[in-house]
Chains A and B, each alone.
Chain A
């Protein structure tokens, strides 16, 4: 990688391997699994406590679901209203049908300022469209300022989690990245940098502050856009978001069209559910809300780029459109047994985990190998639905997308269909089933560790051992 590289690697990388192959490699990385397990278990336990504090959680969840469904049903109306409100407040609204158009709009806006560098607030939408790479091609450096995004950017790496993108890195790896790379991006890491998180955060503070203080252009996404007031909202913790939203003269926000909500009052639902679902806090340390450029306070030039990029395709799918309710809290990642083992990179998408498995194939279609494999990246255990603060029935959408993919044909899916058909027949014929179980138990010593053929699944997993005695026999002996 040359020293002039200023973006993150293309995402998805050219020809990403399908999920099963990527997951197989990931589960063999024991450091990665250790980092992930620790992180997901910590957040999921804290989240459960934060949610339990609110006696009306189910009502808030239902309210959030309905607000989003109602908005999606009348999305045209609310987008037009939002455009009017933002324009009245002094902002400028742009519409981008796809990633290329959004990138071109942002690059043109930056070029018009005469600047060649911008500071960025962590944003899934700009990752989705590959904005950093597009700007780099135009000679514009985009600096990621969220600590985790900085770690990812300096390490020529890719994010692996929606909320904590560098969750796959431990402190020793992060120190090494800082020592190795900070100098070629600006202020070098201090000599004798230790691997304590406080020291690492301090190094990031010093490195980024010089960028904040000179930045003339900020680029952000938004968690919510309020149609009736034209207000945009960003939730964050570190203050890097406030820096990017406050100090530059020009602010450009790239936001998916599904992020609009109808009214100011609707925000009160998500201000309660988003922090508790994502960081497991009663409230995240900082939330910024702005309605156009405020006189003498913050950027005096504000641009909103409304992004489609496949969202209207998802909206057209009766079952799948519920994925557009997503508020990007990442609770579903932290409870998912598949994500916990495979890690975020295996999904080949900026949206990993259960939500990525339903959102990405809808945004990008299912023609590529990776996108066709994503609906299978799940055990359908349902934990993701239980924790979702807007009640997206992820298993329902997964099954729906599997049907679609299976309809396309392909070798993996034929194999799966054949296996399911055989299992279904055996279960319908109890004597066959019982005989099979007894035969399996008696021949335990002869069983291979993996079945022949179905390597995609079993390369990264061991088969469970057959019990010594079939369950039916055990039941007969002990209960009858």
Chain B
């Protein structure tokens, strides 16, 4: 008998005769926030900042110059962007542009100072951005290895209030990364330290179109 069959047989024997389980309830709230896009965006801003992301606001004309300014302020010699990033977001940036090459090694990626991406959506109540590997986001590793991540969120269409609202819009077959603030640890006497292995600086641009 294979272990598969043995485990399944043990499970069946263990629950044989157990009463029917209650059906899962869904009477929790779909959202904890009033349906007002401006208020939801403000809440996203507040919660991102509360977990130490640096939050900026921009309009379509201002996003390119803002990205350029942030890269300069960070002193980045080079910047990586996925192929599907809207060109105008990086139009004013001066650092050397590193192509997102599928063949590049993790060690090469380690030499990249900053990465600029879009996102799949952002969740206001938790201060979370979600990446799903779409054209403006690229593979998971490009937002992981470089130390500085600039992420652009298009408001209002990419902003949801709550986790349940996010789940119904995400595609589970894509590799998903949920990011709430920069890398952090509280393992030493519960003192929170930002930045261990992931990017130590996360900047989020809320782009109102």
Contact = CB atoms under 8 A, between A and B. Distances in A.
Contacts of A346: none
A167 B186 CA distance: 10
Contact of A237 (B20, B140, B184): B184
B189 to A, nearest CB: 6
Given A62-B25, A75-B11, A101-B3, A290 B32 contact: no
Most buried by A among B21, B133, B168: B21
Contact of B11 (A268, A282, A312): A312
Interface string B5-25: 011101111110010111111
Interface residues of A, number: 96
A297 B21 contact: no
A167 B127 CA distance: 27
A163 B6 CA distance: 32
Contacts of B105: 213
- Please report whether the interface of chain B is mostly helix, strand, loop or mixed according to DSSP: loop
Contacts of B118: none
Interface string A65-106: 011011011111001100000000100000111000100000
A104 to B, nearest CB: 11
Contacts of B188: 147, 166, 171, 174, 197, 200-201
Nearest to A46: B190
Nearest to A76: B11
14 contacts: A59-B25, A59-B29, A62-B25, A67-B24, A147-B187, A238-B183, A267-B167, A268-B166, A285-B182, A291-B174, A294-B175, A296-B139, A298-B141, A308-B7
Given A39-B189, A147-B187, 6 more contacts: A63-B28, A76-B12, A79-B7, A101-B3, A242-B144, A271-B163
Interface of A: 35, 38-39, 42-43, 53-56, 59-60, 62-63, 66-67, 69-70, 72-76, 79-80, 89, 95-97, 101, 145-148, 151, 164, 166-167, 170-171, 174, 197-198, 200-201, 204-205, 208-209, 212-214, 226, 229, 231, 237-240, 242-243, 246-247, 257, 262, 264-269, 271-272, 279, 281-291, 294, 296-298, 306, 308, 312-313, 315-316, 318, 321
For the complex of A and B, list the 8 residue pairs with the smallest distance between their C-beta atoms, beginning with the closest: A239-B198, A239-B197, A73-B21, A312-B10, A316-B14, A287-B178, A283-B126, A238-B196
